[in-house]
Amino acid sequence: MFIYTVKKGDSVSKLSKEFNINQINIITDNNLIAPYTLLIGQTLIIDVDRLNYIVKENDTFQSLEEEYDIPISKIKSINNISKLTIGETITFDYKTNKYKGYVNGYCYQNLSEGTLNKYNKYLSTISPFAYKVKEDGTLDNFIIGNNIKNDNLPKVMVIANIKEKGGFSAEITHKILNDRRIKSILINNIITEIKKENYKLLNVDFEYVKEDDKEAFIEFIIDMKAKLNEINKELSVCLAPKTSSFQKGLLYEAHDYQKIGKIADYLIIMTYEWGYTYGEPMAISPLPQVKDVIKYAKTVISKEKIIMGIPNYGYDWTLPYKKGTAADSLSITEAMELALEEKVEIKHSKAYLTPYFNYKKDNVNHVVHFDDALSYKEKIELAIKENIGGISIWTLSSSNVTLTKLIDNYFEIRNF
């Protein structure tokens, strides 16, 4: 398998002949929509193990690496060559060794059965979002939809400090973490629910925890882990994407990578939302920033515990950006449908190493940032290169053929 970037004049039939692959495979592997028009800059999964190529004039190792998504070192070693000869046939080998890793997927309660079924075999666990913890230590009346009651797919109990009408609340966690009685009530309620629903893990997603509550939060994690050990269950904790222990801001200060990393079984690092609903237009998950976060995490957390977040969505901003205005969220499929509708070129940011496109509608300029086959591949390869525990998708709200195809190519799914 390799990732091909569409050029001017490309079509499905042309690529089918060039790469000796059935047109139907190109269409289904990339979820192309009839009449299967391709956009310049669009990236496609080409699912072949080997490719024979006749060297042309002006070819260089660098140009072949860029166009055919294969490292120069691999071209040289497979073909036992140190230079290119015009007219010579060389081979590109795309076979990969499977990486045994943990793949989690978050979902909302309204996830359709059809969408879930498209992800089932690519997941280790599914994490329905979320039980809301209350200031008195009780949990909201969370009902798992029948479509998520799948005994073949282990479920994670997710708890979050979310207000009744939405939004994370520092006050809810402050109240719980600093009252021993309420904390004990909450922990007992969690254990009861885990037993009742037969959850495999607990996931704690407490965000915007006050800096002054940092030690109380760690104490809660310690107490929670002790209770989970008694019933042979594991614990994962969501962490904001940090690049140092001194990172300032409400998102970061109470998330102590080193201390929490010693307690929890898994740390799901939320490596997305650099570009967010009310923020300035930018990539949701820029690769250089993700690399920096994983690099720091590995210095203080056992690498097998680190689970890297993967976004399954994009944002559409109006331009010029005005502070306080909201971007529209859209699925990866919706992003590509919009690009096709507007007949625009897909560009790739050199700063973020992710795709984006511009369009104009009703005399208003827009920019859309999202992820594609190439940026997903690079994120997955980063996880494998760093030898971390796996990845976690936020969220399974819409099917993503590109992402599941890549997971299938690279991962041997770790089962529970």
Task: Give the span between the Cα atoms of 267 and 279, in whole angstroms.
Answer: 26
The one catalytic residue among 57, 171, 197, 207: 207
> Is residue 301 within 8 Å of residue 261, measured between CB atoms?
yes
Q: Which residues of 125-151 are buried (b: 16+ CB within 10 A; e: fewer)?
A: bbbbbbbbbbbebebeebeeeebbeee
Burial class from Cβ neighbours inside 10 Å (0-12, 13-18, 19+) for residue 195 reads exposed
Other CB atoms within 10 A of residue 386 CB: 15
What sign does the dihedral 42-399-123-327 (CA atoms) show? Answer: positive
Please give the single-letter amino acid code of residue 196: K
> Is residue 154 within 8 Å of residue 416, measured between CB atoms?
yes
> Is residue 103 within 8 Å of residue 411, measured between CB atoms?
yes
Residue 135 is a catalytic residue: no
Task: Give the span between the Cα atoms of 103 and 125, in whole angstroms.
Answer: 7
> Is residue 48 within 8 Å of residue 1, measured between CB atoms?
yes
> Is residue 3 within 8 Å of residue 43, measured between CB atoms?
yes
Question: Residue with structure tokens 């306080």?
Answer: 324
Q: Which residues are catalytic?
A: 207
